Structure 1
Amino acid sequence: MEKRKNLIYDVGMHKGEDTEYYLKKGFEVIAFEANPELVNLCKQKFKKELESKQLTIVEGAIIDPEFDQDKDNPNILFYKNKNLSVWGTVDSEWAKRNEKRGTENEIIEVTKIDFKKCLEKFGIPYYLKIDIEGMDRVCLKALFHFDVKPDYVSIESEKVSFKVLKGEFDLFKNNGYSQFKIVNQGNIKEQKEPLNSEEGSFLDYSFNSGATGLFGKDLQQPWKGYKTAINSYRFIFLGYKLLGDNGVVTNRFLRKITLKAARFFTKESVPGWYDTHAKHSSVA
């Protein structure tokens, strides 16, 4: 199977924050979304691109066929978050976690999507962006079935279990990805497209909160090796432990002072949340 150098997969389209950027860059896009309301929103937003076939929307939720206990049923339960649409998931544990954080879910049925079959149907993309709550690793596992891999892949990385985080890196490594960039998504609005953009045409684009942002050759951070990248996450997880959703610093005044100091010295959104971008070893 050949790689399609002008193709990007947007796995977790949401409101089209990333799809819009990729389309304007001149790429063809295969976008995946499980929430029917968001699908309808994007069908209106990208009507011209859908008609021209520059964009294809795959409706439904990606599942892990290995753990599908009801293979005869074409549908699966989807927890549509009423408060934060980006938190929609098929993972019941993720849904419970989100409810503990003060949000409410509406349970609906959506179509099951086998990601391996989609790769077979649409081809291997140049860049694979993955951001689907609880199912990112399923997409990485599907790549094992193919000799050809995307040049670049990004996922929203684990922020609760360091063991799971390391498992994500092992999936990357076993797929042949050897270089990594760690991007704080809390700073996404500050990202600036390089004037000499190597990913499509220069747009002078402004990213909104919720977007993945720059990718591939346009990312400004230095590439890191497997061990160095994992060690970088040790420091990030310390921030999660102290100041994260369930951090040990619970006193409001102390938390405010600590966050202010951390953001002043690091110039980063702390504790933030991070995407891991990976470059395949076959890429020069």
Structure 2
Amino acid sequence: MAPSNRVQQNCVREDLIFDVGLHKGEDAAYYLRKGFRVVGIDANPDLIEWNRKRFAGNERITIIFGAIAEGQGNVRFFVDKQSTWGTVDPDWATRNVRLGSTHHEIEVPIFDIREAFQRWGVPYYLKLDIEGREDVIIDALAELSGRPAFISMESEKIDFRKLIHELQKLRNLGYRRFQVVPQVHIPNSSIRTRDRNGSIFNYVFEDDASGAFGDDLNGRWICFAEAAARYAFIFIQYKLFGDNGLMFRLRGGTFIHRLLMACFGAFPGWYDTHARL
């Protein structure tokens, strides 16, 4: 899939998706079914091996092993018992332990996302799910003249000011319409959509999938102010029941939170921010 020569970084490839946070290929499988080429990036070597086996022989996907982080060389990566929670961010790793998970540490190579832009160009859609380092990629986008038509990223859950700053960064890049998408109902949900050739097909999303993107989203695209207001309400729930919420300061709060998660799934839930130019 890799071109023999480097392409210009401002060249948007309409048939290309970057899946940053490949995990077990749940999203990549959907993108491939829709007819896109995929560059998938992950820092967990076990997941890299999983995907190489899963997509063996598929020439439309390139799988890259590395962690998105500042600098060069290697970085410490926390491999979490819950594979979707792997991170290079020590604060996220500490949060995961507080939520009852465990991890071990490994050293992984840093992958500079600028290298992907240089080799393959700017993707049509950029999916970011790397537990606390999405800002590194958003900052790299600011260096390019081209922009993905659509971006999605897992939303900040701790600091409301940081979340607003993320939205502002997207707005500064030219993204003016947003959707706030809850993730809890995506696994095993279905969609009727079209591939890039216009053929209609039905698709059922796997566990841990990020779901639909772009024009396939069912919700209404809203402005920056509406998105900020929606997140303000969500953050009230986070303040009470979230990872660093009031409940954890009460005696027995951790047990109650785990009970709520067992009853309702992710509680109060996590959200992705989708943005379009």
Is the shorter-chain TM-score for this pair beyond 0.5, marking a shared fold?
yes
Q: Distance in 1 between matches of 2:268 and 2:110?
A: 34
Distance 2:132 2:237 in 1: 22
Which amino acid in structure 1 is aligned with residue 276 of structure 2? Answer: K
CA gap 1:95/1:231 in 2 versus in 1, 3 angstroms: same
Query: Alpha carbons of 1:269 and 1:57: their partners in 2 closer, same or farther (altered >3 Å)?
Result: closer
Task: Tell me the percent identity.
Answer: 41
The reply on whether 1:75 has 2:84 as its aligned counterpart is no
Structure 1 equivalent of residue 216 of structure 2: 218
**Structure 1 position 269, deviation (Å):** 7.3
Deviation at 1:96, TM superposition (A): 1.7
- The yes-or-no answer on 1:61 pairing with 2:67 is yes
Q: Quote how far apart the aligned CAs of 1:105 are.
A: 1.6
Give the drift of 1:151: 0.1
Distance, in Å, in 1 between the alignment partners of 2:148 and 2:181 is: 19
1:78-111 CA-partner distances (Å, limit 9, x unpaired):
1111x20111111122112212222222111111
Give 1:154's aligned residue: 152
| Counterpart amino acid of residue 166 in structure 2 | E
Which of residues 146, 170, 173 in structure 1 aligns to 2:171?
A: 173
Change in 2 beyond 3 A, CA 1:98/1:171: same
- For 1:160 and 1:166, the matched residues in 2 are separated by 12
Corresponding residue SS for 1:125: strand
Alignment check: 8 A CA contact 2:87 2:132 kept: yes
Structure 2 residue matching 1:205: 3-state secondary structure: strand
* SS of residue matched to 2:138: helix
Is the CA contact (8 Å cut-off) linking 1:26 and 1:200 kept in structure 2? no
Partner SS, residue 187 of structure 2: helix
2:272 alignment partner in structure 1: 275
Q: Which amino acid counterpart does residue 80 of structure 1 have in structure 2?
A: V
> How many residues were matched structurally?
259
Of 47, 52, 71, the match for 1:43: 52
Mapping of residues 98-247 of structure 1, within 5 Å: 98-189=96-187, 191-195=189-193, 201-247=199-245
Distance 2:229 2:199 in 1: 35
Q: CA RMSD in A?
A: 2.3
Q: Which moved more, 1:7-16 or 1:194-203?
A: 194-203
As a proportion of its length, which structure holds more helix? Answer: 1
Q: Secondary structure at the match of 1:145?
A: coil
What's the secondary structure of 2:117's corresponding residue?
Answer: helix
Amino acid at match of 2:103: N
Q: How far 1:144 sits from its partner (Å)? A: 0.5
The alpha carbon displacement at 1:196 in A equals 6.0
Question: C-alpha separation between the residues in 2 aligned to 1:270 and 1:101?
Answer: 12
1:276 shift after superposition? 0.4
CA contact (8 A) 1:180 1:277 kept: yes
Q: Distance in 2 between matches of 1:165 and 1:186?
A: 20
Query: Is contact 1:10-1:19 (8 Å) kept?
Result: yes
Give TM-score scaled by structure 2 length: 0.87
Partner of 1:177: helix, strand, or coil?
coil
Q: Which moved more, 1:204-213 or 1:4-13?
A: 204-213
| Partner residue in 1 for 2:83 | 85
Give the 3-state SS of the residue equivalent to 2:186 in structure 1.
helix
- TM-score normalised to the size of structure 1? 0.84
Contact persistence 1:127–1:152 (CA under 8 A) = yes
SS at match of 1:170: helix
Contact 1:25 1:200 in 2 (8 A): no
Stretches of structure 1 that go unaligned for 5 or more consecutive residues are none
Question: CA offset at residue 77 of structure 1?
Answer: 1.2
The 1-side partners of 2:112 and 2:194 are apart by 37
